[in-house]
Amino acid sequence: MVIRKLTTRVVPWLVALSMMSVLLAGCAAPATPTAEPPAPPEAPAVTEAPPPTEAAPPTEAPPPVEEPAPPEEPAEEPVVLVIMDNWGSEENGKGPPLHATFEEFMAEYPNIKIEEQIFGDHEIPTKVVTMFMAGDEPDIVLQNLHQAALEWLDDGISIDLTDLSKEWGLYDQLKPSAVTEWTDSQGRLNAIPLEGYTWPVWYNTKIMDEAGVEGIPQTVDELIDAAKKIRAAGYQPFTTGGMEWTGEFVFFLALATMLTDEEIPQLYAHGGFSENAHARAAVEAFVKMRDAGVFADDVEGLTNAAANEEFYSEKAAILHGGSWFFSEAPMDIKSHITLGGMPLPEGSPRSKPAIYSSFEGKGVWVTRNGSKKMDAVAKFIKFFYQPRIMARFVEVSAMTSPLIDTPVDESKLDPLFVQSTMLGNVTEVALIHKVYVPPAIDEDLRRAAREALVPNTSVDTILSNLDDVYAILQ
Amino acid sequence: MKLTHRNNTIKDGDGAAVGYRQYKMERDRVAFLIFVAPALIAFILIMLWPMINMFYLSTMDWRGLVKPKVYVGLANFIRMTRDRHFLRALTNTGIHTLISLPGVILPAYMLGFFLSQRPRGYRFLRLVFFSPAMISVTAIAMMFVGVYLPEGILNTVLRGVGLGDLARPWLGNTSTVLYAIIAIDFFGGLGYYAVLFSAALTGVSNDLYEAAYLDGAGRWTVMWRVGFPLILDFIGVCLMLHLIWILVGAAQNVLLLTQGGPGDYSMTLGYYLYSQAFKSYQLGYSQAIGVVIFILGAVGLLLIRKVTQRDYQM
């Protein structure tokens, strides 16, 4: 009888409970990649174009970067170099030039075979860490400087490249601002900066002219006034993906219009938005814009793609879009797009509308495993950072080259890219906050920022939402 | 089919014959257990380890797979009591359960009963009902993004029928986002469970239905007073499966549609667990959330078992 009870009652219970526990525990057990839920839509594709402050002019003299070493003797031991990136996917414009570069490199160094692993950039941190734990991480990773990657050096996943990049003759060829961004507080170079971008505000002057808006708004009040006129003309004003990351960055850029570059690292690393007068003033200005109808109808429910489509189809007049969008914008609207910055609230410490421009878009990280194949890694990096190779990415995808000198064919450049190189005259670059956000709170901070776009969310709620995120760091 | 009350054990005599029969039955059961034991042991070992691991990790402060673990006792659980995202997730999961569990299973049973009556074209209907189960969660989520966008299908239809005032950004609105996500359960679950219930109901003898009709029962009565109790055990199993889906599986929809937003208005326990583990790298805390989900699930399964347990056998 006891056995019967066991089989009919206890066993099904054990099975049901165990199944549930496996599902739950799968979310943290050391070898978890298979338990990961499906990937989210599109991660912030941080890939892109030229920083206005020091963008390399389109036509520059060929650089004196060290020429790659001559091909190895055939007798050398064959080496497989494993490279993980998100550029190689079909939909990424950098895929073809990247693969062409790999082919050229392998032709020049027949003893080195490149094995490419392609993942979304939001997947790469987890992949790298789990592979590191198994002793099987890729040798080189192309990844952004944010979230978990900020801790790779401390965790021993990647190595400091300061001395190596000098040894390779590369350090002095890199733009100083790029090197600074990728150098941590201890003076270590996290990775070799690869991809810079500009992230301005796009204004459709055809719509604005039709609506009777004169010039690009420089202040919040001018923007509010422009939005009213744009709405009256039957268009949506400022569109963004309020449900996704583009919406977050509109809020963060609006916040940056009131913050100084000294305040940004401190605030985003430790919190304290509610007590910061500049942050409060920025949120008040943002809420004022939101409540005055600056943002498109139902913006809080828009995806990135829907917002971009609204702008590309000329239903909306203003968009905050990174230079990685330059190539996807329809050619027929590019002629009447003027790039500018986020208008400033009253009392802003900045003198011109703010934009983002950074080199944190992508870097070449060398891992622990890569350090064991340093000869092959060095050959690849020196080959990859040749100006003619970098020029390919600038021409194809409006990427800002990390090199001081990059010879590009001007005729191949996107007109918006060219326009963005002159933004330094009319905008001011704000530090991009995400480099300073501790990985543990990155996601919560983004979610809190998106809520600012939701109607009726008060200034106090927004500020306390931002500060609450930092509570877990205590 | 003969219904026999479970407590009415048959006592048809004494003596050696009865003793031998009982001995044989016991022997058969022992043999059965011996045969299934290897699979059972392997199953328990494979399943038990993650469970123990989850409880163990829930007492750790562990901030990344390559970071050291520090024992913190119940600190992760104490943190939950003042973590407003967790409390919101707990509330949202409760709402999700209260709506989706009866809201999906009971109409699914009605559809299943309808199918089991083999109406004209029932084979085609069965295929139609089951088809959402053959679509990946990702595809369904993407489809619903198109439905819920401000210029999406739902708002277009509402405006088309003169109900434009009801149109809103369903996934961006704090008061509709959770219900928009719960509604996806109906799309994915109704037909799926209906087909399962229909299959279960085909095992019920037509004699029982005919007897009920002869006694003057209508279809409604037959559906709820004859069919329903006869497959109550099976309905219980489906309720358990759906509860586990709500607690754990539905996190996929949140991840793909809103990532818990706007703010934390669509945060559920399952998604919060994922978010803490994979996005915030708070592995110890995520496992503490896992323990809470486990306990809630166990209590829920127990309640469902209690409610759907029959006191008779077929």
Indicate the range of A224-233, A363-372, B21-30, B65-74 predicted with least confidence.
B21-30
Is residue A405 within 8 A of residue A66, CB to CB? The reply is no
- For A64, residues 6+ apart whose C-beta sits below 8 A from its C-beta are A173, A405
ω into A62 cis (within 30 of 0): no
Q: Where are the alpha helices (DSSP H) in chain B?
A: 16-57, 75-81, 84-116, 122-130, 137-148, 153-160, 177-201, 206-214, 219-221, 228-230, 232-244, 251-257, 269-274, 283-308
A190-223, pLDDT tens digit by residue? 999 999 999 999 999 999 999 999 999 999 999 9
Indicate the range of A370-384, B12-26, B164-178 predicted with least confidence.
B12-26
C-alpha span between A422 and A402 (Å, rounded): 17
- pLDDT over threshold 50, residue A233: yes
CB contact (8 A) between residue A27 and residue B287: yes
- pLDDT over threshold 70, residue A59: no
A339-351, pLDDT tens digit by residue? 999 999 999 999 9
CB contact (8 A) between residue A439 and residue B280: yes
Cβ pairs A/B, distance under 8 A: 199
Kindly write down the DSSP assignment for every residue of A244-274, as one continuous string. SHHHHHHHHHHHHTTS-TTHHHHHHHH--TT
**If 0-12 CB within 10 Å is exposed, 13-18 middle and 19+ buried, where does residue B40 land?**
middle
Is residue A373 within 8 A of residue A81, CB to CB? The reply is yes
Tokens representing B98? 């209260």
pLDDT band at A92 (very low <50, low <70, confident <90, very high): confident
Average pLDDT over residues B192-208: 92
Is residue A111 within 8 A of residue A72, CB to CB? The reply is yes
B75 contact residues in A (CB cutoff 8 A): none
pLDDT in the model for residue A30: 43
- pLDDT over threshold 60, residue A45: no
- pLDDT over threshold 80, residue A239: yes
Name residue A358's beta-bridge partners: A197
| CA-based nearest distance A141→chain B, Å | 18
Q: Name the residue of chain A whose CA is nearest to B298's CA.
A: A17
A302 contact residues in B (CB cutoff 8 A): 149-150, 169, 172
pLDDT in the model for residue A70: 53
Token match 């996806």: residue?
A: B184
**If 0-12 CB within 10 Å is exposed, 13-18 middle and 19+ buried, where does residue B20 land?**
exposed
Distance (Å) of CA A196 to CA A50, A83, A330, A356, B251: 6, 20, 23, 11, 35
Token match 């095992």: residue?
A: B203
pLDDT in the model for residue B49: 84
CB contact (8 A) between residue B244 and residue A11: no
CB contact (8 A) between residue A7 and residue B275: no
- pLDDT over threshold 90, residue A328: no
Alpha carbons within 13 angstroms on the beta-carbon side of residue B177 total 26
Tokens representing A223? 């923007």
Kindly write down the DSSP assignment for every residue of B55-85, as one continuous string. HHHTTEEE-STTSPEEE-TTHHHHHHHT-HH
- pLDDT over threshold 70, residue A93: yes
C-alpha span between A42 and B209 (Å, rounded): 54
Q: Do the strands A354-366 and A428-430 form a parallel or antiparallel pair, or are they unpaired?
A: parallel
Pick from B62, B64, B261: CB nearest A447:
B261
Name residue A400's beta-bridge partners: A196
- For B75, residues 6+ apart whose C-beta sits below 8 A from its C-beta are B61
Mean pLDDT (chain B) is 90
C-alpha span between A412 and B23 (Å, rounded): 90
- pLDDT over threshold 90, residue A396: no
C-alpha span between A192 and A178 (Å, rounded): 9
Q: Name the residue of chain B whose CA is nearest to A40's CA.
A: B256
- Among positive and negative, which fits the CA dihedral A49, A53, A57, A63? negative
Residue ranges and CATH numbers for the domains of chain A are 79-197+358-426 (3.40.190.10), 201-320+438-473 (3.40.190.10)
A472 contact residues in B (CB cutoff 8 A): 79, 280, 282, 285
On whether any CB of chain A is under 8 Å from the CB of B131, the answer is no
C-alpha span between A246 and A393 (Å, rounded): 23
C-alpha span between B289 and B271 (Å, rounded): 10
CB contact (8 A) between residue B256 and residue A243: no
pLDDT in the model for residue A33: 34
DSSP A149: G
Cα angle A250-A251-A256, degrees, rounded to a multiple of 5: 95
pLDDT band at A455 (very low <50, low <70, confident <90, very high): very high
C-alpha span between A443 and A245 (Å, rounded): 10
C-alpha span between A380 and A211 (Å, rounded): 53
pLDDT band at B314 (very low <50, low <70, confident <90, very high): low
Distance (Å) of CA A8 to CA A4, A12, A138, A447, B238: 6, 7, 50, 47, 17
C-alpha span between A220 and A294 (Å, rounded): 10
Distance (Å) of CA A82 to CA A141, A367, A383, B59, B268: 9, 10, 16, 37, 38
Pick from B51, B262, B281: CB nearest A148:
B281
Count H helices and E strands in chain B, helices first. Answer: 14, 4
Average pLDDT over residues A81-99: 89
- pLDDT over threshold 90, residue B25: no
On whether any CB of chain B is under 8 Å from the CB of A242, the answer is yes
Is residue A199 within 8 A of residue A355, CB to CB? The reply is yes
Tokens representing A347? 């009392």
- pLDDT over threshold 60, residue A41: no
pLDDT band at A65 (very low <50, low <70, confident <90, very high): very low
C-alpha span between A258 and A433 (Å, rounded): 13
Probe site for chain B from A15, A24, A444 (most B CB atoms < 10 A): A24
C-alpha span between B285 and B277 (Å, rounded): 8
CB contact (8 A) between residue A23 and residue B248: yes
- For A383, residues 6+ apart whose C-beta sits below 8 A from its C-beta are A68, A101, A104, A105, A108, A109, A389
- Residue A344's SS3 state is strand
- Among positive and negative, which fits the CA dihedral A197, A200, A204, A209? negative
pLDDT in the model for residue B115: 92
- pLDDT over threshold 50, residue B271: yes
Token match 């990280």: residue?
A: A365
Q: Do the strands B69-71 and B60-62 form a parallel or antiparallel pair, or are they unpaired?
A: antiparallel
Type of residue found at B40? L
B124-145, pLDDT tens digit by residue? 988 888 888 888 888 999 999 9
A170-196, pLDDT tens digit by residue? 999 999 999 999 999 899 999 999 999
Residue ranges and CATH numbers for the domains of chain B are 75-313 (1.10.3720.10)
Which uninterrupted H or E stretch holds B80? Answer: helix B75-81
Cα angle B225-B10-B36, degrees, rounded to a multiple of 5: 80
Which uninterrupted H or E stretch holds A116? Answer: strand A112-118
Q: What is the distance of C-alpha B33 from the center of its chain?
A: 29
Average pLDDT over residues B88-95: 97
pLDDT in the model for residue B14: 62
Is residue A177 within 8 A of residue A359, CB to CB? The reply is yes
Q: Do the strands A354-366 and A192-199 form a parallel or antiparallel pair, or are they unpaired?
A: antiparallel
pLDDT in the model for residue B44: 79
Cα angle A461-A467-A468, degrees, rounded to a multiple of 5: 85
DSSP A440: G
- pLDDT over threshold 50, residue A44: no
CB contact (8 A) between residue A17 and residue B54: no
pLDDT in the model for residue A1: 46
pLDDT in the model for residue A14: 52
**Cβ–Cβ contacts within 10 Å for residue B5, how many?**
9
Is residue B267 within 8 A of residue B260, CB to CB? The reply is yes
C-alpha span between A405 and A60 (Å, rounded): 6
On whether any CB of chain A is under 8 Å from the CB of B244, the answer is yes
CB contact (8 A) between residue A14 and residue B44: yes
Mean pLDDT (chain A) is 86
Indicate the range of A40-49, A129-138, A314-323 predicted with least confidence.
A40-49
Cα angle A343-A346-A348, degrees, rounded to a multiple of 5: 75
**If 0-12 CB within 10 Å is exposed, 13-18 middle and 19+ buried, where does residue A405 land?**
middle
- For B213, residues 6+ apart whose C-beta sits below 8 A from its C-beta are B222
Type of residue found at B93? T
C-alpha span between B225 and B229 (Å, rounded): 6
- pLDDT over threshold 60, residue A20: no
